[in-house]
Amino acid sequence: MNSTTRLSEKIHRLFSKTVRIFTASLIFTAALAGWRVDFLMISADGNSLCSLPAAQGQRLIAQYVHSVEKTDVEDEYVVTGGKLWTWEEKVKSSNAGMPSVLPKYMSFLNSGGKMIFRGGRLAHETLNLRIGNKTFGRNKLRIPPFETAELYKTLPGRRLELTIVRRPYLYGRTDTSKLFISDRQKRK
């Protein structure tokens, strides 16, 4: 084999490799444009406050103070199948407003001074959260990996709507706004 043939083969391999990389990049970009992803949309009064991709199993934890019992309540929701599913509720008391009969598909645990109601198969197309203020409710929302948003300070008296919207990834808008970005995170 002479040197001209070897050079020609090297050029052919390099060209072939370049074409494969370009084609893979083109296919990836096209797939990204059509790849549908679940986005968590948080809005109030018809105005979008927050939008971010929500993977299957993404957790949301709503925390508030019970209006009658004046004890802490923690509700955990999980994103599955384009809906927000109630996963568990942790309370210190089961008197006012708590179930007296355990619903089907739900379990009860008593752990560390808290009563935990888990399961129940309750799915929400839209989850409404009514936000209180410093004296009533003291609502907070945590969506890992973000820090806890103290909604009673930033959105007192508002009603939030949380929905899961499925749209192509490239056309989805990720906007955590100031809802989940603390002053400490801004300084980094």
- pLDDT tens across 58-68, in order? 999 999 998 77
Kindly give the pairing relationship between strand 59-65 and strand 140-142. antiparallel
If you average pLDDT over every residue of the chain, what do you get? 83
Q: Are 157 and 136 in contact (CB under 8 A)?
A: no
State the DSSP string of 5-58.
HHHHHHHHHHHHHHHHHHHHHHHHHHHHHH-EEEEEEEEETTEEEEEEE--TT-
**pLDDT tens digits, one per residue of 175-185:** 666 566 554 44
Would you call the peptide bond into 99 cis, given omega within 30 degrees of 0 as the criterion?
no
Number of Cβ within 10 Å of residue 86's Cβ equals 19
DSSP state of 59: E
Model-level pTM? Answer: 0.74
Residue numbers of the chain with a pLDDT score lower than 50 = 183-188
